Structure 1
Amino acid sequence: MADIHSEHNSDNGAAQRKQIWKVFYILSILTAVEFLIAFTIPQGTLKVSIFVGMTIVKAFYIVGEFMHLKHEVKSLIWSILIPCIFVVWLLLALMLEGGSIFSLR
């Protein structure tokens, strides 16, 4: 009976380790692409937009995998996602409006 439980736990542990390594490789590739962009694309709106987009993708992936949010019910996911979207919208609006001060002078 003990052999059955130890085999089940080792199979489960192997699957978890495989998933962890998969997440590690995906995040490593995204980070490498960010470094590539940082050193190849000249400074500007395109570069900032790419960085913001990739950071949001990485954040959602980390939250989904390590905080196990992707396994939750959809209503909980939306109750977390909608306020985050509004905060990002607020920050974008504040940055755009803050930048308009410099164009008036």
Structure 2
Amino acid sequence: MAHVDSSLSPKEQRTKNIKKIWMVAGILALVTAIEYVIAFAIDPSIYRNVVFILLTLVKAGYIVAEFMHLKHEAKYLIFAILVPIIFVCWFMLAMLIEGTTIFGIRFPELVM
């Protein structure tokens, strides 16, 4: 998880790594707790869904950065991974919006 620091003894390095693991677990637990609270605090709507999607993307990004060590890689590799993901997310959102609009025009009696 963490880089090895040659100035630390093996015991100190192990303690540092354990603290890092607990910090990562705490951050993920905090984001999950926020999602849980929002699930019961906000009525079902598009806004709640957007919040859930954003929080899920935050958790996924944090997991990739920490457990897959992406944050320690070269910036070009990070951009080579992030740019296509951002494009695909934008494409899915655009298709959902476009599909909803077409559905509303074609079947206006079914739209709320």
In 2, the alpha carbon distance for the partners of 1:82 and 1:21 equals 30
Give the letter for the 1:47 counterpart.
R
CA distance in 1, matches of 2:62, 2:101: 34
Specify the code of the residue in structure 1 equivalent to 2:9: H
C-alpha distance in structure 2 between counterparts of 1:10 and 1:22, whole Å: 18
Query: What is the TM-score normalised by the length of structure 2?
Result: 0.84
Q: How far did residue 101 of structure 1 move?
A: 2.8
Residues paired across the two proteins, number: 100
1:8 corresponds to which residue? Answer: 9
Gaps in structure 2 of 5+ consecutive residues: 1-7, 108-112
- Measure the CA separation in 2 of the matches of 1:50 and 1:39: 13
Q: Normalising by structure 1, report the TM-score.
A: 0.89
Equivalent runs, 1:50-61 vs 2, <5 Å: 50-61=51-62
Could you list the structure 1 runs, at least 4 aligned residues long, displaced by more than 3 angstroms after superposition: none
Q: Name the SS of the counterpart of 1:42 in structure 2.
A: coil
CA distance in 2, matches of 1:71, 1:14: 21
Instruction: Give the unaligned 5+ runs of structure 1.
Output: 1-6
Superposed CA offset, 1:13-56 (max 9, x none): 11111000000001001101100000110011210111111111
Aligned to 2:9, the other structure's residue is in SS state helix
SS at match of 1:22: helix
RMSD: 1.5
Q: Work out the CA distance in 2 between the residues paired with 1:33 and 1:15.
A: 27
The structure whose RCO (Cα within 8 Å, separation 6+) is larger is 2
Match of 1:35 in 2: 36
